[in-house]
Homo-oligomer: A and B are copies of this chain.
Amino acid sequence: MTSHDTPRRATIADVARAAGVATSTASVVFSGKASVAAATRERVLAAAADLGYAGPDPRAASLRRGRSGIVAVVLEGHLRAAFLDPVTTAMMDGLTDGLADLSAGILLMRDDPGDDGSPLSNAPVDAVVLIGCSGRTKASLDIVRSRGLPVVVIEGDAGEGIPRITLDNTAAAADVARHLYDLGHREVALVTLPLDTRGERAPVTQERIDTATVEVTVDRLAGMREVFPTAPAISTGSSLIDEGLLAGRTLLADPATRPTAILAQSDLIAVGVIRAAEELGLRVPEDLSVAGFDGIAADGLGDLVLTTSVQPAVEKGRAAGEQVARMLQGEPGLTLHLTCRFREGTTTAPPSR
Show the binding face of A for B, using Cβ within 8 Å: 9, 32, 52, 54-63, 66, 68-70, 72, 78-80, 83-84, 86, 89-90, 92-93, 96, 103-110, 116, 119, 121-125, 143, 146-148, 240-242, 245, 268, 271-272, 275, 279, 299-302
Contacts and interface: CB of A to CB of B under 8 A. Distances in A.
A107 B104 CA distance: 9
Nearest to A74: B105
A245 B303 CA distance: 10
Contacts of A108: 92, 96, 105-108
A171 to B, nearest CB: 27
Contact of A80 (B70, B93, B275): B93
Chain multiplicity (copies):
2
A80 B92 contact: yes
B240 A299 contact: yes
A175 to B, nearest CB: 26
A302 B277 CA distance: 12
Nearest to A114: B100
Contacts of A271: 300
A261 to B, nearest CB: 22
A123 B54 contact: no
Given A63-B59, A106-B107, A106-B108, A69 B299 contact: no
Contacts of A104: 107, 109, 119, 122-124
Contact of A242 (B79, B147, B299): B299
Given A105-B109, A275-B302, A83 B89 contact: yes
Nearest to A147: B54
A272 B300 contact: yes
Given A109-B105, A302-B275, A123 B245 contact: no
Given A108-B108, A146-B54, A241-B300, A86 B84 contact: yes
Please indicate which of the listed interface residues A60, A103, A241, A300 has the most CB atoms of chain B within 10 Å of its own CB: A300
Residue from A116, A122, A143 with most neighbouring chain B CB atoms (10 Å): A122
Contact of A275 (B63, B110, B242, B300): B300
Closest 6 CB pairs of A and B: A58-B124, A241-B300, A104-B123, A54-B146, A83-B83, A83-B89
A236 to B, nearest CB: 12
Nearest to A143: B54
